[in-house]
Amino acid sequence: MSAPVDSEDGVRRPLLADQRNAEETSRSPSHQGTFKRNLGASEAFAIVISIVIGSGIFTSPGAIDSNVPSPGVALIIWLVGGLLAWTGATTMAELGTAIPGEGGVQPYLQYIFGDVFGFLAAWTWIIAIMPATLAILSIVFIESIYSAAGITNAATSIEHKLLSILVLVIISLANSISTKATTRLNNFFVVTKFVSIAGVVIAGLVVIIIQTSHPNRDIGGRDWFTRSWFGYRETVNPDGSRIDWAKLSEWEVLGHYSAALYGALWAYSGWDKAIYVSAELSSPARQLPLALNTAIPTIVLCFIAANAAYYILLPWNLISTTDSVAVTAIGRLLGPAVGILAAILICLVVAGSLLGNSFVAGRMVVSASNKNWLPSFLGFVGNLGLSSNSTITSEESSSDSPDVPKESRSDAPVNAIILSAILGALYILLGNFRALLTFNGLGEYSFFFLTVLGAVILRFRQRDLHRPYKPLVIVPIVFAIVSGFVVIRGAVFAPVQAIILIVLWSIGLVFYWVRKRWITNREE
């Protein structure tokens, strides 16, 4: 295995790719740098916050609590999940500053392992991961409204699905205006996220003050005040069954802990998304690590504080039985009217996460199109044109030339956003929340494992690679071990979703070779 070498044109060759693939990778330099570098560290910070703080912090605490023996262990799971997300994020920052490129993990896999791996990563994100994410968030948005109205078990109804698609369409339209418009709207949603979490935490603090001042008063859950946070207790499942932790074997306990960790990792999902806009940062080597190393600790702190507040506001046997823990906690403390207000705030939080993920999904499609992996019209920025002369460059879009029509000066990847919305709508119609959640996690962590493993390989095979940001090598090693475990466990317990992913990868490989042959024949 040889290290990448500089060619005559100065292009660094993939570590494991053959010469022909490398030459194809370096073609069409005009396709590089599609977007303007007009984002800073604060925008990248806001995008990470907006994507990660979504529905997970408000819906997954119940699923985690049902798989741990005590609230103290649940908080440790949240801390461990956050630290693992941070290890992945710092490794991505290393790759993002050493191997610049659009499209998230795909340029790293392409650089390390060659075109096929880069394509499969792009294909999986475009066809599976991002549309499934958009579908999940759209479903959660409508489910929050239904829950506030007291309606349950309606997620499979056609009305629920059509409303979810409507939400997805509205967010996609908002993302189609321009990058600046999206980031400004995103900043508003970031504020709502912090307000929502602050409301939960402040409510918990008020209960603490009142309870300690008046020990005999019945307010909040009281369990936090009268019981040990690390003492074993029976866990109540949503179906009414109970788990007696004293009777479980070590292997069974480990299985429950792994399920809880999987839930936490899903709640933290999105930590990798800042690298998707690294090509739009004005100074990525400085801004990308800064954004990630401030956003991830902030998120971890918010998640632990909010979950501690849930255990203060609610009886402990109630948390594991609900998927709307925030609405339940606020409604129980302050009444149904305030619970409805909490549901509205949570809907705004989910909308912000949906906006951020739609923003990222479009960038993935554009990057794949620019590499000739997808039809060229999907890579157009600022218009719906179907011919190459319809596209505009970033320089034209920022100029004041009268020759450039004003309606073409948007820098939003409209066609790419439309594709993501259509695929997301199909997932809403054909899937459900829990199945899509597992499907999404399997797809993501399969390539997270490969990417971080590649980062470790580069440390030993290409020591002279310029790395403006370089965490300790133990960081990517730890994340590679954990992500590999997550993938194996997910495939064992969700074989249907694993088979669907394998089928999609097989279709992708066929598409890749057919398109590659078609492009070669056309050029000849």
DSSP letters spanning 109-166: HHHHH-HHHHHHHHHHIIIIIHHHHHHHHHHHHHHHHHHHTT--S-TTSHHHHHHHHH
Amino acid at 177: I
Domain count, the chain: 1
Question: Going by C-beta distance under 8 Å and a sequence separation of 6 or more, which residues neighbour residue 434?
Answer: none
Cβ atoms 142, 351 nearer than 8 A = no
> 12 phi and psi, to 5 degrees?
-80, 125
CA–CA separation, 122 and 125 (whole Å): 5
Please indicate, yes or no, if residue 121 is contained in any of the structural domains: yes
Is the separation of the CB atoms in 451 and 109 below 8 Å? yes
Distance CA(102)–CA(10), nearest Å, equals 19
List the domain range (segments joined by +) for residue 350: 37-384+412-523
Q: Quick check: is 12 in a domain?
A: no
* Helix (H), strand (E) at residue 169: helix 158-175
* CATH number for the domain harbouring residue 360: 1.20.1740.10
Alpha carbons 8 and 22: distance in angstroms, whole number? 13
Q: Is residue 393 part of a domain?
A: no
* 453 found inside a domain: yes
Q: What local confidence, expressed as pLDDT, does residue 232 receive?
A: 85
Burial (CB < 10 A; 0-12, 13-18, 19+), residue 72, is middle
Write the CA distances from 512 to 108, 166, 203, 238, 505, integer angstroms: 18, 32, 54, 45, 10
- Phi first, then psi: what are they for 68, rounded to 5°? -135, 155
For 156, the token pair is 């499979």
How many whole angstroms separate alpha carbon 127 and alpha carbon 450? 19
The verdict on residue 122 lying in a domain is: yes
Q: What is the pLDDT of residue 522?
A: 81
3 state DSSP class of 503: helix
- Token pair recorded at residue 146: 């239904």
- pLDDT score, position 20: 38
In a domain, 406, yes or no: no
Residue 404 domain flag: no
Query: What is the token pair recorded at 144?
Result: 């929050």
Asked whether 438 and 119 are in contact (CB, 8 A), the reply is no
**Structure token pair of residue 330:** 């606020």
Residue 242: its H or E element: strand 242-243
Q: What angle do CA 425, 431, 436 make, to 5 degrees?
A: 100
pLDDT for the residue 400: 42
State the Cα–Cα distance between residues 135 and 386, nearest whole angstrom: 27
What is the C-alpha to C-alpha distance for residues 410 and 413, in angstroms, rounded to an integer? Answer: 9
Of 212, 303, 314, which is closest to residue 265 (Cα–Cα)?
303
Identity of the amino acid at 509: L
The low-confidence residues of the chain, meaning pLDDT below 70, are 1-38, 100-104, 148, 150, 152-153, 178-183, 185-186, 238-239, 273-280, 323, 382-411, 524
Q: What pLDDT was estimated at residue 307?
A: 93
Tell me, what's the pLDDT at 385? 57
Closest Cα partner for 437 from 200, 227, 128, 195? 128
CB 200 within 8 A of CB 29: no
Cα–Cα distances (Å) from 454 to 14, 73, 327, 372, in that order, read 11, 33, 42, 24
Identify the three-state secondary structure at position 354.
helix
Whole-angstrom distance, CA of residue 83 vs CA of residue 479: 10
Looking at residue 70, its pLDDT comes to 92
Is 21 a member of any domain?
no
Tokens 């207790």 correspond to 233
What pLDDT digit, counting tens, does each position of 299-337 carry? Answer: 999 999 999 999 999 888 888 877 678 777 887 777 777
d(CA 326, CA 307): 9
- Rounded distance, CA 220 to CA 470, Å? 46
Handedness of CA 287, 132, 57, 62 (dihedral sign): negative
Tokens matching residue 432: 């459900």
Q: How many Cβ atoms from other residues are within 10 Å of residue 409's Cβ? A: 16
pTM across the whole model = 0.74
